[in-house]
Structure formats: structure tokens, C-alpha cells
Amino acid sequence: MYQKEFPAGSYVIRENEVGAHLFVSAEGDFEIMQDGKVLGRMGPGKAFGELAILYNCKRTASIKVVNDFKVWVLDRRIFQLIMVRTGLQRLEDNISFLRSVLLLENLSTDLLAKIADALEVEFYPAGVHILRQGTRGDTFFIISNMNMRVTQRIPGKCCLISNLN
């Protein structure tokens, strides 16, 4: 990101223009305008223009500077590069994790990459049932960090309980 300054009365973004930058306000105030009408006023710490770097679309509103204004600017090209690198790192991390799973350790890197690409990370708070005995099993879970209790109902007995850490 780099910093840019705008004088009072100028526009950071104009409605209907194609945008290629995300902005984060650092100092000063700005108005959000649509069809020439002021929709609101904001100050430092607000991000705007994200749709342009995510979807390469036209600006849906104008941003007019109220008083001298400083922003941090992120270019779409840099953002996309960061996202590609982040995605590749996440894929490598997931493959490495999958290799640590005894059941999967002998699979090829290509197959592990396909599995890693399909992984969905889920976080469960304490006390939540992840699955219940007797329900349809249509999800494959790989537990990475755990402190859990596994219980099983056995006919004619109370239950079998195992604590896993």
C-alpha cells in the first residue's frame, strides 16, 4: 500500500468509473455520494472501493473529500498477487497437514492437492456435538486440534466414553 493525499473538495472515487484501487482512510473526512445526493459522512479507519479490486466493476458511489484527506491505497494487481500467494501457501499447508494423517500419508501429491483444494476448515466451540451416533454419515472429518469427548451408546450398557486430547 502507498499513501496518497487529496485536497478538500476533490473526489477520491467517482460514481460509474471503473476502479482499480481499494482505499483506507487515514486522516480527514469524506462524503459518500450517489446520484448527487450525500448518503453519509465518514472519517479515518474506513475502507472503501473493495468491489473494484474484487470484481473489476464500476464504482457504485462517489467519495468526495470534505477536508484535507489522506488515504492508504491498494492496487488491484498487488491485491491479486497477495491473494494468489496466500492461496498457494494455504494449499501447501493443507497438503502438509494431509501428509501427517496416517490414513492419507501414502497418497500422491496430486491426489493430496485435490483433497486439499476441497478442504473446508470448520471451528467448533466447546460443548458442541460434531456428529451423533446413528445419523447419516456424509461428511469426512479430519480433526487437527482437538480436546474432545467421544461417546458411544452400547445396547444394555450405559455408554463408552473416551476423552481425546
In this prediction, residue 112 carries a pLDDT of 92
Q: Where are the domains of the chain?
A: 2-76
Q: Which cell numbers in the block locate residue 163?
A: 476423552
User: Which whole number is the average pLDDT over 140-148?
Assistant: 76
The DSSP element (H or E) to which 23 belongs, if any, is strand 21-27
In this prediction, residue 71 carries a pLDDT of 96
Assess contact for 147 and 155: CB atoms under 8 A. no
Length of the chain measured in residues: 165
pTM greater than the 0.75 cutoff: no
3-class SS letters over 90-115? HHHHHHHHHHCCCCCCCCCHHHHHHH
Assess contact for 3 and 44: CB atoms under 8 A. no
In this prediction, residue 137 carries a pLDDT of 82
- Residue 32 and residue 94: Cα distance in Å, rounded? 41
Per CATH, is 2-76 categorized as 3.20.20.150? no
Confidence of residue 159 (pLDDT cuts 50, 70, 90): low
User: Which whole number is the average pLDDT over 117-132?
Assistant: 84
Assess contact for 77 and 57: CB atoms under 8 A. no
pLDDT per residue over 90-120, tens digit each? 899 999 989 988 889 899 999 999 998 888 8
